Amino acid sequence: MNIKIFNICLLVGWLMVLAGGVVIHPGWGLAIAGGLLIGLTLAAAYIAGWERPKAPTDKGENV
């Protein structure tokens, strides 16, 4: 899956949760959507890795 498509799907899903939660109760909807956004960000970072990709000129050395 392309990273752009992944980010769009993640955004659309989060917006659906946000809209549904705000319709039911604005405070709880914002709180749950905020917690979900933090959780999804941490999960994506954990799955993809925390480190930045190495530049093509890097030889694997720590600078």
Each residue's pLDDT tens digit, 39-61: 998 888 888 776 666 666 656 66
Cα separations in angstroms, 31 against 39, 42, 48: 12, 17, 26
pLDDT at position 27, please? 93
* pLDDT value at 30 more than 70: yes
CA atoms within 13 A on the CB side of 34: 7
The secondary structure of residue 51, as a DSSP letter, is S
CA-closest candidate to residue 34, choices 43, 46, 23, 21:
21
What three-state secondary structure class fits 9?
helix
- Whole-model pTM? 0.66
Asked whether 40 and 12 are in contact (CB, 8 A), the reply is no
